[in-house]
Amino acid sequence: MPEETAAPTFPIDAPVLESAGKAAALGLCPECFGRCFGQFGHGLTNPERAARLWAALDRPTPPAEGPCPLCEGLFDRWETWVTRTVAAAADCEWHRFSCGSRWDPELLAREEMIWTRVGSSWGESARGAFNRELGKRVEARSGAAGSPDDPEIVFLVDLPAGRVDVTRMPIYFGGRYRKLDRTLPQTRWPCRRCQGRGCETCGGTGKTYPTSVEELIGEPLLRASGGSATRFHGMGREDIDARMLGSGRPFVLEIRSPRTRSIDVADMALQIRDAAAGRVEVDGLRVCDAAEVLRVKEASPTKSYRVGVVGEVPLPKVNEALAFVAGRAIAQRTPTRVAHRRSDRVRSRRILSARLVEGGEGRFTLDLRAEAGTYIKEWVEGDGGRTEPNLSQLLGVPLTVEFLDVLEIHDSEK
Ligand SMILES: [Zn+2]
Ligand SMILES: [Zn+2]
């Protein structure tokens, strides 16, 4: 049956009537009285429910006297809460929101007691009703949409404190970056000595490196959005002295607590290009959602590398060794250089393909494709025997990696 032709049903049978009789004696406000039976009469407001119950009890709706013993008049102060809520977010842009509230636990316990006393198992909690009703009123006042699953801003009404706290949800930008500079870390690198506060060692900057891929991409976005901070999520990371070439590395740049959300992405891409001055290039910048962070962090694509190696070895011997390693598993114990942040264990990885590009006069260049998580420098140099087998061992001479470039990241798009 279409809803608009059906009057809200409210089966006021004997058990409901008995509970209503008990509730009627408590001096509750219409909101709280009706809410004791909130699961009935879908579409009715609580005062409308209360009116039906009074009618069923065959008694006139009593005039309000004194504050309600349950809510203490909370549900009469909508104007205050709506005004405070909207004012709390007056300095930022929002189109979707959600509402929550913090309550005096005694009041919530009182509500449970009242339900027990009147014998109603059909009540709706004050908190749930308050959040929903506040949401409707904030929608009407602001023109924004209530969106519990995907809010841009979250209001938390602290009822005992009489205050509204606001959380501005992050904005996420996705894209791919190339890094053409061998002195640039991927993320902001706080000074180890002062932990970012600024000291003599870091010249007061609080940083080990003057800038990073994160900062070159993030700063124009941070400025435009008025956010508080950035977080950079890359699909893995290259070494500081390695370039990232090809179609680039997928990333998500998160802007914390933004005030402006309408951002011209094309204009941002130009600003990033100018700020990065050829050190970093970004393709396909776009707004994305939080789920993209997981997708980027959990991917484990194979990668192609170009490696420049210094070592005195005849090139035919290099070719022979490369033919041997292609497709074969190597055992890599956590390299000493990352042992401070990774657990020390042995990982099995594969060099999928390997090819000599050029060589002569004590150096040669390789192209490799390897599984995610392969430590390339260590595979070439041996890392004191921590990688087995390694190229230096196979060739029987010491090798040094002169340069390393990531040529391509073979994620689902490439
Ligand atoms: Zn009340
Ligand atoms: Zn410092």
Ligand that comes closest to the CA of residue 192: 2
Co-location of 355 and 279 in the same domain: no
pLDDT of residue 332: 94
Taking residues 187-194, report their average pLDDT. 91
User: Is pLDDT above 90 for 336?
Assistant: no
What is the distance in A from the centroid of ligand 1 to the CA of 26? Answer: 11
**Could you give the percent of the chain with pLDDT greater than 70?**
97
Co-location of 124 and 149 in the same domain: yes
Co-location of 334 and 262 in the same domain: no
Residue 414: pLDDT band (50, 70, 90) is: low
- Tell me the pLDDT tens digit for each residue of 39-70: 888 888 999 999 999 999 998 888 877 889 99
Which range (136-140, 197-201, 364-368) has the least confidence?
197-201
What is the distance in A from the centroid of ligand 2 to the CA of 377? Answer: 29
Ligand 1 ion: residues within 5 Å (CB): 29, 32, 68, 70-71
Q: Is the CB of residue 278 less than 8 Å from the CB of residue 259? A: no
Q: Which residue has the higher pLDDT, 65 or 276?
A: 276
Co-location of 330 and 189 in the same domain: no
- Cα of first residue to Cα of last residue in the chain, in angstroms, is 53
Compute the distance between CA of residue 111 and CA of residue 125 in angstroms, rounded to an integer. 8
User: Is pLDDT above 80 for 382?
Assistant: yes
User: Is pLDDT above 60 for 7?
Assistant: no
Q: Residue 197 corresponds to which tokens in the numbers above?
A: 């506060």
Co-location of 9 and 75 in the same domain: yes
Domain count, the chain: 3
pLDDT of residue 413: 66
Co-location of 99 and 233 in the same domain: no
Domain final position from 249, 267, 298: 298
What is the distance in A from the centroid of ligand 2 to the CA of 191? Answer: 5
- Closest alpha carbon to 395 in 313, 325, 286, 310: 313
pLDDT of residue 11: 80
Which range (38-47, 230-239, 292-301) has the least confidence?
38-47
Taking residues 362-374, report their average pLDDT. 95
Domain final position from 250, 282, 298: 298
Residue 3: pLDDT band (50, 70, 90) is: very low
- Tell me the pLDDT tens digit for each residue of 67-121: 899 998 888 899 999 999 999 999 999 999 999 999 999 999 999 999 999 988 8
pLDDT of residue 297: 95
User: Is pLDDT above 50 for 283?
Assistant: yes
What is the distance in A from the centroid of ligand 1 to the CA of 25? Answer: 14
Compute the distance between CA of residue 24 and CA of residue 62 in angstroms, rounded to an integer. 9
**What is the SS3 assignment for the chain?**
CCHHHCCCCCCCCHHHHHHHHHHHCCCCCHHHHHHCCCCCCCCCCHHHHHHHHHHHCCCCCCCCCCCCCCCCCHHHCHHHHHHHHHHHCCCCCCCEEEEEEECCHHHHHHHHHHHHHHCCCCCCCHHHHHHHHHHHHHHHHHCCEECCCCCCEEEEEECCCCEEEEEECCEEEEEEEEECCCCCCCCCCECCCCCCCCCCCCCCCCECCCCCHHHHHHHHHHHHHCCCEEEEEECCCCCCCCEEEEEEEEEEEEEECCCCCCCCHHHHHHHHHHHHCCCEEEEEEEEECCHHHHHHHHCCCEEEEEEEEECCCCHHHHHHHHHHHCCCEEEEECCHHHCCCCCCCEEEEEEEEEEEEEEECCEEEEEEEECCCCCHHHHHHCHHHCEECCHHHHHCCCCEEEEEEEEEEECCCC
Ligand that comes closest to the CA of residue 74: 1
Question: CATH number for the domain including 390?
Answer: 3.30.70.3190
Ligand that comes closest to the CA of residue 31: 1
Q: Is the CB of residue 268 less than 8 Å from the CB of residue 221? A: yes
Co-location of 282 and 364 in the same domain: no
pLDDT of residue 2: 46
Taking residues 223-237, report their average pLDDT. 97
What is the distance in A from the centroid of ligand 1 to the CA of 85? Answer: 21
Domain final position from 144, 168, 192: 168
Question: CATH number for the domain including 287?
Answer: 3.30.70.2510
Residue 1: pLDDT band (50, 70, 90) is: very low
Q: What angle do CA 285, 289, 294 make, to 5 degrees?
A: 100
Co-location of 392 and 404 in the same domain: yes
Q: Which amino acid is at 189?
A: W
Compute the distance between CA of residue 228 and CA of residue 222 in angstroms, rounded to an integer. 7
What is the distance in A from the centroid of ligand 2 to the CA of 210? Answer: 12
What is the distance in A from the centroid of ligand 1 to the CA of 66? Answer: 11
Co-location of 150 and 26 in the same domain: yes
The residues that are catalytic are 239
- Host domain of residue 315: 302-410
Ligand that comes closest to the CA of residue 200: 2
Co-location of 146 and 177 in the same domain: no
- Tell me the pLDDT tens digit for each residue of 238-275: 999 999 999 999 999 999 999 999 999 999 999 999 99
Distances (CA, A) of 218 to 153, 193, 276, 364: 21, 25, 11, 37
Q: What angle do CA 347, 353, 357 make, to 5 degrees?
A: 125
